[in-house]
């Protein structure tokens, strides 16, 4: 999860309006359906084998997916700033707890004020609740860790973490009033980027209920302990809260560890009093470890609109076939039609279902494990990545397996909406490495490999010369890879089997396929690999889809491709790319931001750090015709059951 500008001085983020104007045309009109009745239960079908399994908003890369954050936790626990407005990928002031931030002192100071909203226990949401998030996040994401957002962090970690990014780019923060606080930054940052990609990561936490070290312990101010900023040698201006074993259990790190342990105990979600103190439109009434959950309205919700349905149920499915059978039986209000069953759309229409493809603001890919000591040296070779990308027949996948819904993808910036101003001409053309098996074979032969179509190719000219296999690759080493992908989705299975067949037949690249449920695949791919602590348990991994730009809502790539970033599966590392990413964070105006993004994405189009797959809809949604409030669907993968009604 999955997963987004101006002059120096004191000002509000005027670039947000410019971005909204540029994107508005292709985002769809706001929903105007009348909500004719109150009550009733809306049942929503989870994607196959992707049940929610983490409730605490601060989640590591192993849990950092739409199914947890944007389709489960966010129904109960709101971020400080909300993004997405009736299908438009823009800042939403109405649904935000915080007022739009004010930047001053040459964009080095951020002032945040909160609206007067409340928790479900009647307590106000205050700046103290935001300070708690800052304290826990600072303690739980140690930039000394090889992967700051992973399970190798001292606390739960944070899937949106980027070394040198938030909260490390905050020199200090302080509460200045009941509903106000300030952040002092280490640099002058682009205010739009800082709102969309940094402040977007903040969640107020109910300090009066969650500031604990154990279930039976009293609530205190434990999160304020051990906050001293410690300068790190040679990493200025970074800082972190050291993971001191003598203080961890009594400070912010101890609180983060406690909340993480409670969130990992799925069987107690509905009964644990921690998770009943919410600020979102719903609270949890029932939850099973298979992913079933029942949400009911939070009667103290401060936002608007208030939920009108009596319950929102999320139903799990192990395969897309079982979900399709549920559609045919009328058991779900909102589901999806598998591509292999598109011929049955008319049958579903007769049963009272409408059709609406759900397009996301992201891209589809799968990573290489650059840290794997056996095959990582092969993945580090640009010629190999170029060759492998040339074996991916995206056009055929779209027509044969995706029902004709999709576009050829060549880079990391979303193709939808088509008016996306950050999409470079090079990426949009999609022709850098089109399907071309002969090109793949030529690249391998030109770099020291004996290509054995239908067999297994091997390195016959080891070394680091221009026509040799490359550093770390030995004589007779074979192009033999293990490939793990998520089970339960026929479309993905077809694509992976087609890629396996082509790679073997055309270029002698042998892919040994295996499947696991989505949670196991994403947990493996984002489980804390680094060059210091390499992962040997995977080589290629495809968890089902790719990345939706959230909570990094501007597509600058810091969370995905920066060295050591929390959602950098496989630990891709390139100093030129790192510098390009930094430039997207500090561009002084809109024009400079666009050019910086063009340079960043064009580099990754050419470098192919991951395997690009067709950009297809998040799902092919089928919904009952009496449901109001669903359309347009949110490009960030967020669902809005507070807007649903049954007419």
> What is the total count of domains within the chain?
3
Structural domain of 409: 362-612
CA–CA gap between residue 72 and residue 241 (Å, rounded): 30
> Do 249 and 302 lie in a common domain?
no
Name 83's bridge partners.
91
Average pLDDT over residues 121-142: 91
Residue with the two structure tokens 């292709």: 26
Residue with the two structure tokens 């897309």: 320
What φ, ψ does residue 168 adopt, rounded to 5°?
-65, -25
The mean pLDDT value of the chain amounts to 87
> Do 299 and 217 lie in a common domain?
no
pLDDT tier, 153 (very low <50, low <70, confident <90, very high otherwise): low
Q: What's residue 641's pLDDT?
A: 97
> Do 324 and 375 lie in a common domain?
no
In a domain, 332, yes or no: yes
In a domain, 333, yes or no: yes
In a domain, 240, yes or no: yes
> Do 167 and 307 lie in a common domain?
no
Q: What's residue 258's pLDDT?
A: 93
Task: Give the domain CATH number at 396.
Answer: 3.10.105.10
Helix/strand number for the chain, H first, E second: 18, 26
Q: Of 263 and 89, which is predicted with more confidence? A: 263
Q: What's residue 407's pLDDT?
A: 92
Nearest Cα to 28, choosing from 90, 83, 91, 87?
Answer: 87
Tell me: pLDDT of 246 over 50: no
Strands 109-113 and 41-45: unpaired
Q: What's residue 117's pLDDT?
A: 98
Residues found in the chain: 647
Query: Residue 596 is encoded by which pair of tokens?
Result: 């910086």
Of 16-30, 35-49, 171-185, 266-280, which gets the smallest average pLDDT? Answer: 16-30
Query: Residue 218 is encoded by which pair of tokens?
Result: 């009293």
CA angle at residue 517 from 508 to 317, to 5 degrees? Answer: 130
Nearest Cα to 404, choosing from 415, 395, 393, 416?
Answer: 395
Q: Of 333 and 38, which is predicted with more confidence? A: 333
Of 96-110, 134-148, 369-383, which gets the smallest average pLDDT? Answer: 134-148
The per-residue pLDDT for range 189-227, each reduced to its tens digit, is: 999 999 999 999 999 999 999 999 999 999 999 999 864
> Do 414 and 556 lie in a common domain?
yes
What φ, ψ does residue 30 adopt, rounded to 5°?
-65, 150
> Do 144 and 248 lie in a common domain?
yes
Beta-strand ranges (E) seen in 228-359 are 230-231, 239-240, 282-287, 293-297, 311-315, 334-336, 353-358
CA–CA gap between residue 69 and residue 77 (Å, rounded): 9
Tell me: pLDDT of 332 over 90: yes
> Do 628 and 605 lie in a common domain?
no
Tell me: pLDDT of 236 over 70: no
Name 390's bridge partners.
none
Distances (CA, A) of 364 to 326, 478, 540, 552, 628: 27, 28, 15, 16, 30
Give the containing element (helix H, strand E) for 428. helix 425-429
> Do 535 and 422 lie in a common domain?
yes
What φ, ψ does residue 101 adopt, rounded to 5°?
-70, 155
Tell me: pLDDT of 614 over 70: yes
pTM for this prediction? 0.84
Tell me: pLDDT of 18 over 80: no
Q: What's residue 155's pLDDT?
A: 65
Q: What is the 3-state secondary structure (H, E, C) of 304-329?
A: CCCCCCCEEEEECCCCHHHHHHHHHH
Strands 610-612 and 88-92: unpaired
Q: What's residue 634's pLDDT?
A: 93
Compute the half-sphere exposure of residue 416: CA atoms within 13 Å on the CB side of its CA. 26
> Do 182 and 248 lie in a common domain?
yes
> Do 226 and 249 lie in a common domain?
yes
């Amino acid at each position: 999860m999955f997963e987004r500008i101006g002059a120096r001085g004191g000002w509000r983020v005027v670039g947000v309006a410019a971005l909204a104007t540029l994107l508005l045309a292709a985002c769809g009109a706001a929903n105007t359906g009348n909500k004719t009745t109150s009550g009733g239960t809306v049942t929503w079908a989870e994607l196959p084998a992707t049940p929610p399994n983490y409730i605490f908003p601060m989640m590591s890369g192993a849990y950092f997916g739409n199914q947890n954050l944007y389709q489960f936790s966010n129904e109960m626990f709101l971020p400080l700033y909300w993004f997405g407005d009736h299908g438009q990928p823009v800042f939403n002031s109405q649904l935000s707890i915080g007022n739009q931030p004010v930047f001053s002192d040459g964009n080095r100071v951020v002032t945040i004020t909160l609206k007067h909203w409340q928790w479900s226990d009647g307590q106000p949401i205050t700046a103290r609740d935001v300070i708690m998030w800052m304290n826990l996040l600072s303690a739980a994401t140690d930039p000394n860790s090889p992967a700051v957002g992973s399970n190798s962090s001292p606390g739960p970690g944070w899937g949106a973490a980027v070394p040198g990014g938030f909260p490390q780019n905050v020199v200090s923060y302080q509460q200045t009033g009941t509903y106000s606080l300030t952040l002092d930054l280490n640099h002058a940052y682009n205010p739009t980027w800082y709102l969309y990609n940094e402040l977007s990561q903040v969640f107020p936490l109910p300090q009066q209920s969650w500031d604990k070290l154990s279930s039976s312990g009293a609530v205190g101010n434990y999160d304020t302990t051990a906050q001293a900023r410690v300068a790190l040698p040679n990493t200025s201006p970074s800082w972190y809260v050291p993971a001191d074993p003598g203080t961890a259990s009594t400070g912010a790190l101890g609180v983060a560890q406690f909340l993480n342990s409670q969130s990992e105990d799925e069987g107690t979600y509905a009964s644990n009093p921690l998770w009943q103190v919410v600020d979102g439109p719903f609270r949890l009434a029932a939850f099973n470890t298979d992913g079933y959950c029942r949400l009911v309205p939070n009667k103290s919700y401060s936002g608007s609109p208030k939920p009108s349905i009596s319950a929102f149920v999320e139903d799990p499915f192990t395969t897309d076939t079982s979900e399709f059978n549920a559609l045919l039986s009328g058991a779900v209000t909102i589901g999806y039609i598998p591509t292999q069953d598109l011929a049955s759309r008319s049958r579903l229409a007769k049963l009272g279902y409408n059709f609406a493809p759900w397009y996301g603001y992201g891209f589809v890919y799968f990573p290489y494990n650059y840290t794997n000591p056996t095959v990582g040296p092969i993945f580090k070779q640009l010629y190999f990545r170029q060759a492998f990308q040339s074996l991916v027949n995206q056009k055929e996948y779209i027509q044969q397996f995706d029902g004709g819904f999709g576009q050829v993808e060549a880079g990391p910036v979303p193709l939808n909406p088509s008016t996306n101003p950050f999409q470079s001409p090079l990426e949009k053309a999609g022709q850098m490495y089109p399907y071309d098996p002969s090109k793949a074979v030529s690249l391998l032969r030109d770099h020291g490999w004996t290509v054995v179509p239908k067999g297994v190719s091997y390195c016959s000219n080891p070394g680091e010369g221009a026509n040799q296999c490359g550093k770390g690759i030995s004589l007779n080493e074979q192009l033999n890879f293990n490939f793990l992908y998520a089970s339960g989705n026929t479309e993905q299975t077809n694509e992976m089997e087609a890629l396996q067949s082509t790679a073997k037949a055309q270029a002698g690249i042998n892919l040994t396929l295996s499947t696991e449920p989505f949670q196991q695949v994403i947990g493996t791919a984002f489980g804390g690999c680094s060059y210091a602590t390499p992962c040997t348990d995977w080589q290629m991994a495809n968890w089902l889809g790719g990345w939706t730009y959230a909570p990094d809502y501007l597509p600058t790539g810091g969370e995905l491709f920066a060295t050591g970033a929390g959602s950098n599966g496989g630990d891709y590392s390139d100093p030129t790319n790192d510098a390009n990413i930094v430039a997207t964070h500090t561009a002084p105006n809109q024009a400079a931001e666009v050019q910086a993004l063009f340079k960043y994405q064009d580099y990754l189009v050419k470098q192919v750090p991951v395997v690009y797959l067709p950009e297809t809809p998040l799902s092919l949604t089928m919904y009952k015709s009496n449901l109001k409030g669903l359309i347009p669907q949110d490009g960030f993968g967020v669902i809005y059951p507070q807007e649903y009604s049954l007419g």
